Amino acid sequence: MPYVITDACVDVMDRTCVDQCPVECIRPGERMLYIDPDLCIDCGACEPVCPQGAIHLADALPPALQRFRTINAEFFTGPGGDHPDVAALPSR
Ligand code: SF4
């Protein structure tokens, strides 16, 4: 069960989580970071260090953030750059 980064990361990209990840599965887009669900080992190290509270266990996502499970996964199969749904979010 992978962890998922959500919209609280958008236009913040603190990146503390990147240094905590033992398998280097957190990658930057232009406006937010994304977790590769195929590489995440569910260690949970990234979740508490995010100052935005942007990281959630996939099965514990609040209903309004469920779509970020797909958004994180599709980032890694897409053409590069942010997921289109993230690119379309208003600027903070
Ligand atoms: Fe990396 Fe662990 Fe976070 Fe998965 S749960 S993204 S392996 S730090």
**Domain range 3-80, CATH architecture:** 2-Layer Sandwich (3.30)
Confidence at 43, pLDDT banded by 50, 70, 90 = very high
pLDDT digits 0-9 by tens, 46-73: 999 999 999 999 999 999 999 999 999 9
Residue 92 has pLDDT above 90, yes or no: no
* Residue 25 neighbours by CB under 8 Å, 6+ apart: 35, 36, 39, 40
Cα 1 to middle of ligand 1, angstroms: 10
Cα 20 to middle of ligand 1, angstroms: 8
Ligand 1 pocket residue status of 87, Cβ below 6 Å: no
Contact 68, 32 (CB under 8 A): no
pLDDT digits 0-9 by tens, 2-12: 999 999 999 99
Confidence at 1, pLDDT banded by 50, 70, 90 = confident
